[in-house]
A = this chain, B = another copy of it.
Amino acid sequence: MAQKPTIPKGTRDFNAGEVAKRSYIIDTIKEQFKLFGFEPIETPSFENSDTLMGKYGDEGDRLIFKILNSGEYLKKLSNDDFESKSESVFTPKISEKALRYDLTVPFARYVVQHQNEIAFPFKRYQIQPVWRADRPQKGRFREFYQCDADVVGSTSLLQEVELIQLYDAVFSELKLEGVAIKINNRKILSGIAELIGAKDKLIDFTVALDKLDKIGEEKVKAEMRRKGIQEDGISKLEPLFNLTGNFSEQIDKLKSILTTSEIGLKGIEELEFINETISSIGIKTARLQLDVTLARGLNYYTGAIFEVSAPEGVKMGSIGGGGRYDDLTGIFGLNDVSGVGISFGLDRIYLVLEELNLFPEAIKETTKVIFISFGEQEALVSLQAVSKLRDCGVKAELYPDAVTSGKQMKKQMNYANKRNIPYVVLVGEEELKNESFALKNMVSGEQINMSLSALIEALS
């Protein structure tokens, strides 16, 4: 093989620096998940195809990675099947397993399968990779992590309140201050659709409304017209396009628009409760914003809808999202289990922290000290010192080859530099005789001879 090997498109290798940064984000999220009482679960990377197929729409089904059956997988195909030459005939017969497409459907499967062992309300978090056969593009990968926290088995709006606090806590902990936690409610969207006589066109209506930020009022209206929403309905939307003021002011305006819609008013009531509770508990660094155009996977959500945007000035899509769904586990035969959950977008959060230079210096530190020795006996003494340092929690190592020439000396110092190791200890004949160690600071260049105990103290 003359050519360098490659990896499949849309996948990534992560080096030590990247793993450290990703772990920093994941560990911060995990820590807050735990503080909020969420418990971890893990599910298999692949599920039975039955479990996943048909849960994400046709497009989703297409994007699910299917695993070829093992062994003589063609045996299940009849002559007619072979002649069909059709993927829709072949796929179910040659593939029975598929890679997880998200964490939500496997979670629903988990809840139903383990319902008798679970104490409800069940607060679970899950941080694992998912796979999608999407066309790779900037910031979109075929393998990526999802970080989800959900509560199932409680209809209390306090869950929504806590999830907003959780977003606030995580982003505050990451020093990413000023994120906007946008909130909407499916019931308000239903109310508006009712109001404008487009109850049967709820999806068309919300898909169009969702684009307001990107394409502007006129184009949104044009799309609604195209979808068959009547002109007098569209005119009733006017106040929505110009909702201004703070959360409660916007709520008041919505109330005056939706007076005749029972479901719309219910949605408003829910939002009011959430906003007031958050106000009285307080929020650290985020801002809670009402965004009546927010729709996100509407078919799925039945109450609150969340989305988090990076602080102003950072161009980035949403860095988190979620909402309440009233019948997640219904697809697996367990009805009436309401749930609400949020998700953190690891890859985008990574990019934002990188852009704002918010990764702490400390996470970049790998090995703290490397020993360079000038002979076999020196190596042995070095290894003993290295062991002692490790026992004291100092990340230490020994360059495995002894220095026998100036060229080698240079090579080993370069190695320490290339790996960003801040200290080097030199052990030569002199040090061996004096039972001492020459500690060199790689930044200042300063070099001091000291005893083992002084060395341990200096590096601990």
Instruction: List chain A positions with a Cβ less than 8 A from chain B.
Output: 1-8, 11-16, 19-20, 23, 34-37, 39-48, 50-51, 62-63, 65-68, 70-74, 77, 82-83, 85-87, 90-91, 94-97, 99, 109-110, 112-114, 117, 119, 121, 123-124, 129, 131, 133, 143, 151, 154, 156, 158-159, 161-162, 165, 169, 277, 280-282, 331-333, 366-367, 370, 379-380, 383-384, 387, 390, 393-401, 415, 418-419
A364 to chain B, nearest CB (A): 11
- The answer to whether B109 touches A70, judged by C-beta atoms less than 8 angstroms apart, is no
Q: Which residue of B lies closest to A141 (CB)?
A: B44
Please give, as numbers and ranges, the residues of chain B lying within 8 Å of A91 by CB-CB distance.
68
Selected contact of A395 from candidates B34, B86, B129, CB within 8 Å: B34
- The answer to whether A68 touches B70, judged by C-beta atoms less than 8 angstroms apart, is no
Selected contact of A396 from candidates B7, B37, B94, B418, CB within 8 Å: B37
Selected contact of A390 from candidates B35, B40, B109, CB within 8 Å: B35
Cα of A45 to Cα of B100 in the assembled complex, Å: 12
List, sorted by A's number, 20 A–B pairs whose CB atoms are closer than 8 Å: A1-B332, A2-B333, A4-B333, A5-B48, A5-B50, A6-B113, A8-B44, A19-B40, A35-B393, A46-B143, A62-B70, A65-B70, A67-B99, A71-B87, A82-B83, A82-B85, A119-B418, A123-B397, A154-B401, A159-B400
Selected contact of A119 from candidates B34, B161, B390, B419, CB within 8 Å: B419
Cα of A82 to Cα of B48 in the assembled complex, Å: 27
Q: Which residue of B lies closest to A161 (CB)?
A: B383
A429 to chain B, nearest CB (A): 19
In the A-B complex, list the 4 residue pairs whose CB atoms are closest, starting with the nearest.
A37-B397, A11-B44, A156-B400, A16-B39
Cα of A123 to Cα of B421 in the assembled complex, Å: 14
Selected contact of A13 from candidates B13, B110, B384, CB within 8 Å: B110
Please give, as numbers and ranges, the residues of chain B lying within 8 Å of A77 by CB-CB distance.
85
Please give, as numbers and ranges, the residues of chain B lying within 8 Å of A40 by CB-CB distance.
16, 19-20, 23
Please give, as numbers and ranges, the residues of chain B lying within 8 Å of A97 by CB-CB distance.
8
- The answer to whether B281 touches A383, judged by C-beta atoms less than 8 angstroms apart, is yes
- The answer to whether B397 touches A36, judged by C-beta atoms less than 8 angstroms apart, is yes
Please give, as numbers and ranges, the residues of chain B lying within 8 Å of A96 by CB-CB distance.
8
- The answer to whether B15 touches A400, judged by C-beta atoms less than 8 angstroms apart, is no
- The answer to whether B119 touches A415, judged by C-beta atoms less than 8 angstroms apart, is yes
User: Given contacts A154-B400, A400-B121, are A390 and B66 in contact (CB under 8 A)?
Assistant: no
A141 to chain B, nearest CB (A): 9
Given contacts A15-B41, A281-B383, 6 further A-B contacts (CB under 8 A): A16-B39, A63-B70, A66-B68, A74-B90, A162-B397, A165-B387
Cα of A418 to Cα of B277 in the assembled complex, Å: 29
Please give, as numbers and ranges, the residues of chain B lying within 8 Å of A20 by CB-CB distance.
40
Please give, as numbers and ranges, the residues of chain B lying within 8 Å of A370 by CB-CB distance.
37
- The answer to whether B333 touches A43, judged by C-beta atoms less than 8 angstroms apart, is no
Please give, as numbers and ranges, the residues of chain B lying within 8 Å of A43 by CB-CB distance.
7, 13-14
